[in-house]
Amino acid sequence: MTAELLASIADYEAFIYGLPGEFACIQMSTLVVVQAGPLTASVKGEIHFGGGLVLRVLEVVHARRQRIERYGYELWKGGEELWWYDSWPHPDQPELAGSHPHHKHVQPDIKHHRVPAPGLSFQVPNLPFLIREVEREYLVR
């Protein structure tokens, strides 16, 4: 994935709506792109996989800057949150410095147990990385 997809809201919108055609593991997507201005938009909704897995997505994208401004991604199975990624900085945790501010919250104590997330970025779309992670870790056995 490249930053060119973030160069315009229309390009990113086409990318988002094309995800189910790119990834056979997606059973359904409720993702919507809501334009907030000529250069900004939010992406909200869910990607449904087999086995009751649901990836909840929230992104804010800025086309002029060609970047994702902020994000939150949560993986759920039934009523259990398996993990979440967010871009909220935690400069007081030196173990996260290698991928700052990108990190993943994991069990146990999902709220406070954070690990680095070097696969995430503000400059390229994150959803292919996350979909592949779900596929690899939860669907392919």
Residue reference for tokens 């994935």: 1
pLDDT at 2 over 80: no
Of 1, 126, 116, whose CA–CA distance to 57 is shortest? 126
pLDDT at 22 over 80: yes
Q: Which long-range contacts (CB under 8 A, 24 or more apart) does 87-91 make?
A: 87/120, 87/122, 90/114
What's the whole-number average pLDDT of the chain? Answer: 91
Helical H segments across the chain, by residue range: 9-22, 127-134
Taking the CA atoms of 25, 27, 30 and 33 in sequence, report the sign of the dihedral they define: positive
Domain coordinates of the chain in residue numbers? 3-139
Q: Note the pLDDT of residue 89.
A: 77
pTM of the model: 0.92
User: Which residues contact residue 59 at a Cβ distance below 8 angstroms, ignoring those fewer than 6 apart?
Assistant: 42, 43, 68, 70, 71, 126
